[in-house]
Amino acid sequence: MGISKETALLLKGGGALWVVLYHLNQLMPLPFIGHFIEINGMMHVGLFFFLSGYGLTKSYNYNPEKFIRNFWIRRVLYFLLPFWVINGVYTVVWCDKWQSFIQLFGYIVGYKYINPHSWFIGALFILYLIFFSVAWLRKYKKFKMEYVFLVLFFFYLCWGGMNGQKLFLSSVDFYIGMLIAANEKNIFDLVKKYKVKVLAFFSSVFILSCLLMVERLYIYIFLHRPLFVFNSVVFVLLIYCLFISVGFLRELKLRFLLWIGAISYELYLLHNIFLQYANDNYKLLSYLGIYFFSILSAFIISTIIIFVQEKLALRFIRK
């Protein structure tokens, strides 16, 4: 029931490839489908937030004590360590070698932005902090975790909105993932019972919402932020309902996408290095070349990081 690890890898793999396509399309727009790629690229970032909230809640519900005990060492090993390593790559490639040590250190650890996706890491880190705080408090007083999280999450969204961070709003999907994971049995039964109606509803709403954004209708001028959030939420709900209600999707084992899913985090963080080589006169070659070198580099760096993670996990993660 729900999203398996393999399904999550498929979604991450597809999402990472689409985000790369989104950034390529910004530099070298594709005819006819360019704006559709742009809109859906932003939604796939919301999919990463959704899977994070869903996965954390599932892990917490499975073994709360172990989850809290190893929470921060896991975040350092599997979330921050790849980010720091890839920031080091950006620093070597992009930085003036005469920068001071303090500046270089700032770029690597992330308090100075050199990686274009640092906003995503910052947003997730705050969400992790809120999630851990609520989970830790729940040890002393039982309450519905998602309700307390919502209060703190509201202030987080206000902060992101006031700072003009539109993309921060896609982190609403983190909370959607939490809600679904916490109430999955009821949701699963409901979707299975009304499968056709649920899929028809979310598909129709998603298409209409996309049309509003693609056509830039007059209403979009006033509602672009709420519409962005609404569209992102409908997108992840549609994907979730598709995967739990359509049997063959749950059994899907696309080896390439599974492999990309395993290195999706590194691919997402790393691919911007190669975008500088995009050339609109050689669009097809640029697309293929940037994809190839981004995936190859992500694979090499991921292999090194996994080796280090396994060694450190044996030493620091408590059973």
Task: Give the tens place of pLDDT for each residue, 157-214.
Answer: 766 655 556 567 788 899 899 989 988 888 888 888 888 888 899 889 888 877 776 6
Tokens of 308: 């280090």
Buried b (16+ CB within 10 A) or exposed e, 244-270: bbeeeebeeeeeebbebbbbbbbbbbb
Contact 269, 115 (CB under 8 A): yes
Residue 244 is predicted with a pLDDT of 80
Residue 267 is predicted with a pLDDT of 96
CB burial of residue 170 (10 Å; 0-12, 13-18, 19+): buried
* Per-residue pLDDT in tens (0 to 9) along the chain, 319 residues: 678 888 899 999 999 999 999 999 888 888 767 777 777 777 888 899 999 999 999 999 899 989 999 999 999 999 999 999 999 999 988 877 667 788 888 888 888 888 888 888 988 998 999 899 888 888 777 767 777 777 777 777 766 655 556 567 788 899 899 989 988 888 888 888 888 888 899 889 888 877 776 655 545 555 667 777 788 888 898 888 888 877 666 666 778 899 999 999 999 999 999 988 888 778 888 899 999 999 999 999 999 999 999 999 988 887 7
Write the DSSP string, the chain. Answer: ----HHHHHHHHHHHHHHHHHHHHHHHSPPTTTHHHHHHHHHHHHHHHHHHHHHHHHHHHHH-HHHHHHHHHHHHIIIIIHHHHHHHHHHHHHHS-TT--HHHHHHHHHTSS--STTHHHHHHHHHHHHHHHHHHHHTTTS---HHHHHHHHHHHHHHHHHHTT-GGGGGGHHHHHHHHHHHTHHHHHHHHHHTHHHHHHHHHHHHHHHHHHHHHT-HHHHHHHHHHHHHHHHHHHHHHHHHHHHSHHHHT---HHHHHHHHTHHHHHHHTHHHHTT--GGGHHHHHHHHHHHHHHHHHHHHHHHHHHHHHHHHHH---
State the residue for tokens 């609109």. 280
Residue 87 is predicted with a pLDDT of 94
Residue 60 is predicted with a pLDDT of 92
The total number of residues written for the chain in this structure: 319
Residue 102 is predicted with a pLDDT of 84
Neighbours of 284 (CB within 10 A): 8
Residue 170 is predicted with a pLDDT of 81
pTM over 0.75: yes
Residue 215 is predicted with a pLDDT of 59
Distance CA 122, CA 118 (A): 6
